[in-house]
Chain A
Amino acid sequence: MVNKFDAELSRHLQAVTAPEGLWERIQEGRTPQRVERPRWPLWAFAAALAAMVALCCFSLRSDTTSYMAQLAAQDLAGGSEPVDFRSSDAAEIRAWVKANAGLDIPLPAENSVRLIGVSLIRDGGPAACISYRIGNREGRLVVARGASAAPQHRAMEHGVDRGAALAAWVMQGQTYALATAPQDLRAACVLCHAEGRTGRKAAGS
Chain B
Amino acid sequence: MASNYKADRGMVLEGTGRELIESCQRGERDSFRTLFEAHKDKVYSIALRYSGDQAEAMDIAQETFLKLFSCIRDFRGEASFESWLYRLVVNSCLDQKRRGRRLLPLVDGLLDLVRATGEGVLHTLLRAELSERVRAVVGCLPPEQRMVIVLRYTQGLSYEEISDALGCSTGTVASRLNRAHKVLERRLAHLVETRGGRDGQ
Contacts and interface: CB of A to CB of B under 8 A. Distances in A.
Contacts of B138: 9, 13
A119 B192 CA distance: 21
Interface in B42-63: 42-45, 48-49, 54-55, 58-59, 61-63
Given A12-B135, A13-B149, A32 B41 contact: no
Interface residues of B, number: 46
B45 A16 contact: yes
Interface stretch (A21-29, A104-112, A144-152): A21-29
A166 B47 CA distance: 38
Interface of A: 1, 3-6, 8-19, 21-23, 25-26, 29, 32-33, 74-75, 77-79, 81-82, 119, 122-123
A81 B190 CA distance: 11
Contact of B58 (A17, A25, A123): A25
Interface string B139-152: 01010000001101
B187 interface: yes
B153 interface: yes
A120 B29 CA distance: 52
Given A9-B153, A15-B45, A122-B142, A26 B65 contact: yes
Nearest to A84: B182
Contact of B40 (A13, A14, A22, A119): A22
Contact of B44 (A14, A22, A81, A122): A22
Nearest to B45: A15
A22 B57 CA distance: 10
Given A5-B181, A9-B153, A13-B138, A19 B186 contact: no
